[in-house]
Amino acid sequence: MLGAAACTDVDQANAASITRDDLVSAMAGQLTAGSGISYTATYQLVGGGTATLTRGQRPSRTAYVYPGGRLIVTPASVTRCTGDEALTCTLTDPDPTAATSLTGTSLVTPEGALGMLNTAALDQDVEAEPHDTTVAGRHANCLDLAEVDGTPAREFSVCVTNEGALASFTAMIKGERADLAMTTYTDKVTPAMFTLPATAKVTDKRTK
């Protein structure tokens, strides 16, 4: 009987581990799928600001506009700008990891959230609690994660829409609260989001 009970405990522990790993991996896969679709999403940020993410395909490119700056990532270059109306921008060589983290803003990018999920998927001590919600009128799958080592936040909550767009994210990162929620979503993309206004001051530091 003791042997049977021990086996049962092991089976339950393995089942819990598989379930947790599957939950995190599935969420990461759902968010990865979002990089292959075209859409524009607007987010409400902590502190009252807003940000806009525009993702296009053929070629794959992404533009972020947020309080105090913007980031445009294309196969040809990475454009980083500071300012809101009067932009000061720097062009650098292509970098697929450019959107992993943004400085000077509470906006957490899908790439940043994905990196944290991938790290969580490898951590056997992570606690993951799933739930569903509706964000900006769209169904989203969510995970509340805790005890996550190797990421900027040991605890965070992330929601992803059925399409694969980041719907919301909440965490404490380096003592600052990151809290964003999607307010609008459309599958339409405005090409102008990937160009700079004529008034922008641009420094080209590309080496290629």
CATH number of the domain bearing residue 59: 2.50.20.10
Whose tokens are 């964003």? That residue is: 180
Of the listed ranges 5-19, 33-47, 129-143, 194-208, the least confidently predicted one is 5-19
- For residue 122, what are its two tokens? 């490898």
Q: Of 61, 170, 158, which Cα lies nearest the Cα of 117?
A: 158
Interior CA angle at 19 toward 18 and 25, to 5°?
85
pLDDT at 17 (0 to 100): 47
pLDDT at 48 (0 to 100): 86
| pLDDT tens, residue by residue, 75-128 | 999 999 999 889 999 999 999 889 987 877 888 999 999 999 999 988 888 899
How many structural domains comprise the chain? Answer: 1
Which is higher by pLDDT, 4 or 21? 21
| pLDDT band at residue 15 under the 50/70/90 scheme | very low
pTM attached to this predicted model: 0.86
pLDDT at 124 (0 to 100): 83
Mean pLDDT of the chain: 88
Percent of the chain at pLDDT > 70 equals: 90
Of the listed ranges 16-20, 61-65, 139-143, 187-191, the least confidently predicted one is 16-20
Helices and strands in the chain: count of H runs, count of E runs: 2, 12
Query: Which residue range forms the structural domain that includes residue 78?
Result: 2-204
pLDDT at 39 (0 to 100): 97
Residues 6+ apart with CB under 8 A from 169: 108, 113, 156, 157, 158, 159, 178, 179, 180
pLDDT at 14 (0 to 100): 40
pLDDT at 103 (0 to 100): 75
Which is higher by pLDDT, 17 or 62? 62
